[in-house]
């Protein structure tokens, strides 16, 4: 390999290979979107160390390390048992898996469990079946909230996505069981790059809960850049849960983007326990009056892990409310970053926005960087943000210990309570108790 070639990063050289790897049944329409996204991506490039939004998270490794695109052929090598080995019990019967970005289930079985009118499909299927209704939905919404211009994450995902999962909940439909999606990185190829993509349209008055669970089957490191677009209609209710449980050598960047109509209630919840470097980006926009957006996150890290919770909450209309709470517990040499922006546009009077970020450092080598930001152009608003960084309260520890509770138990009790303020926001009982247990397990390492 000449010097010239070795300097071309993998994401430039492998774009040509994409077609054979994802299967050649994609349409020309998708190819045009990909090509446009790839051009945007190459134009934007990877964030540099001086890029303000990436100030505290260094992803140079994406350039220097050789990743290879996921091969559709690999999916069949992962059997059902392996695919489901990471499933958390009792969350939902509506459970499906993507393997290296490809939807692995037969969706027909799941469709039978869905209420009437609810659509669950892949874009590939929609094109194969020439499903005009679904394609129309796709054309109307895909790439509208998460645009590729000036946005490296979306452009990256859009130029390489393996499958697009489309969920459509028609007006008034109530999906009582959560839709539980596991993104499995198989680790069968070396350093695989996967790009899961979801488009979810929930019409007026409908209800849906979505769980995205990121897992790895082996300790082979990989890279994931996922994008999920949520279009939420008037008076609809959507909850989105994200759970990061990858191996210690995995890099992930996830983008959640949403817009919501009037009276809609949208809640995002991110839990991060695994991964080498995880960046959760949540970008909701309130586009209808009297809406509510909740943003919650818990991170428990140890070793050399790095998490970056990056939120941009955009109040563009009046009379909306938002509640944002992120908590982190950092041990070992781990690093926690929180960068939360609240934008209140000129017309968004009577906005009520609360943002809070708290971090506990358990070790003297852990680091926390926090950047809570308010950008406010309307005058009749109530916005507050608070950030705290510290260690466990010695007085509280002493109180517990003086009542005969051992040091370790006392510490865990306090940390559980600390995390509890965020985990209690999880409305799915099975998921909440699983996550609460993960907090405990991770801390008692």
Site residues, another protein (CB under 8 A): 52, 56, 344, 346, 349, 359, 361-391
**Least distance from another protein to the Cβ atom of residue 304, Å:** 15
Q: Please report, for the chain, how many H helices and E strands are present, in that order.
A: 13, 21
- Which lies closer to another protein via its Cβ, residue 233 or residue 328? 328
Judge contact between 148 and 40, C-beta under 8 A. yes
- Which lies closer to another protein via its Cβ, residue 262 or residue 385? 385
**Least distance from another protein to the Cβ atom of residue 387, Å:** 4
For residue 49, give Cα distances in angstroms to 10, 57, 155. 20, 8, 19
Kindly report the backbone phi and psi dihedral angles of residue 8, in degrees, each rounded to the nearest multiple of 5, phi listed first.
-75, 120
**Least distance from another protein to the Cβ atom of residue 217, Å:** 34
**Least distance from another protein to the Cβ atom of residue 158, Å:** 29
Kindly report the backbone phi and psi dihedral angles of residue 368, in degrees, each rounded to the nearest multiple of 5, phi listed first.
-130, 130
**Least distance from another protein to the Cβ atom of residue 306, Å:** 14
| Segment holding 135, helix H or strand E | helix 132-141
- Which lies closer to another protein via its Cβ, residue 71 or residue 321? 321
**Least distance from another protein to the Cβ atom of residue 228, Å:** 28
- Which lies closer to another protein via its Cβ, residue 43 or residue 375? 375
φ/ψ region of 90 (left if φ > 0, alpha if ψ in -120 to 50, else beta) reads left
**Least distance from another protein to the Cβ atom of residue 332, Å:** 11
- Which lies closer to another protein via its Cβ, residue 121 or residue 299? 299
For residue 436, give Cα distances in angstroms to 19, 219, 412, 425, 429. 42, 24, 12, 12, 10
Judge contact between 166 and 156, C-beta under 8 A. no
CA distance 298 to 330: 11
DSSP state for residue 255 in the 8-state scheme: E
- Which lies closer to another protein via its Cβ, residue 386 or residue 406? 386
Find the length of the chain: 445
- Which lies closer to another protein via its Cβ, residue 25 or residue 346? 346
């Amino acid at each position: 390999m000449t010097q010239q070639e070795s300097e071309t990063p993998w994401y430039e050289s492998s774009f040509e290979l994409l077609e054979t790897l994802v299967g050649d049944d994609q349409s020309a329409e998708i190819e045009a979107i990909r090509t446009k996204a790839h051009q945007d991506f190459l134009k934007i490039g990877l964030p540099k160390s001086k890029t303000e939004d990436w100030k505290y998270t260094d992803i140079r490794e994406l350039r220097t390390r050789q990743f290879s695109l996921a091969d559709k052929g690999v999916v069949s090598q992962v059997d059902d048992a392996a695919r489901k080995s990471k499933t958390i019990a009792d969350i939902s019967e509506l459970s499906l898996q993507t393997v290296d970005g490809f939807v692995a289930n037969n969706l027909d079985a799941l469709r039978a469990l869905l209420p009437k009118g609810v659509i669950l499909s892949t874009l590939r299927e929609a094109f194969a079946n020439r499903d005009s209704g679904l394609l129309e939905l796709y054309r109307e919404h895909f790439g509208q909230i998460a645009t590729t211009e000036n946005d490296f994450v979306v452009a990256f995902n859009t130029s390489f996505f393996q499958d697009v999962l489309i969920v459509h909940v028609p007006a008034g439909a109530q999906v009582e069981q959560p839709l539980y999606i596991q993104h499995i990185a198989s680790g069968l190829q070396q350093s695989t790059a996967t790009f899961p993509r979801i488009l979810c349209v929930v019409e007026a008055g409908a209800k849906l809960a979505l769980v995205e669970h990121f897992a790895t089957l082996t300790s082979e490191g990989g890279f994931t850049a996922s994008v999920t677009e949520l279009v939420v209609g008037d008076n609809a209710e959507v909850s989105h849960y994200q759970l990061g449980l990858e191996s210690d050598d995995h890099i992930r960047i996830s983008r959640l983007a949403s817009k919501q109509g009037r009276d809609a209630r949208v809640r995002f919840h991110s839990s991060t326990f695994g991964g080498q470097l995880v960046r959760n980006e949540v970008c909701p926009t309130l586009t209808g009056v009297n809406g509510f957006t909740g943003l919650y996150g818990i991170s428990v890290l140890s070793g050399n892990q790095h998490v970056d919770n990056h939120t941009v909450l955009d109040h563009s209309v009046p009379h909306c409310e938002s509640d944002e709470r992120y908590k982190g517990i950092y041990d070992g040499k781990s690093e926690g970053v929180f960068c939360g922006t609240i934008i209140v546009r000129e017309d968004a009077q009577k906005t009520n926005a609360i943002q809070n970020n708290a971090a506990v450092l358990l070790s003297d080598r852990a680091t926390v960087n926090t950047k809570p930001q308010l950008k406010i152009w309307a005058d009749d608003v109530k916005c507050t943000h608070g950030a705290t960084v510290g260690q466990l309260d010695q007085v509280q520890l002493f109180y517990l210990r003086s009542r005969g509770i051992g040091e370790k138990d006392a510490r865990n009790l306090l940390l559980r309570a600390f995390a509890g303020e965020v985990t209690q926001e999880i409305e799915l009982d099975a998921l909440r108790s699983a996550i609460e247990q993960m907090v405990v397990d991770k801390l008692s390492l």
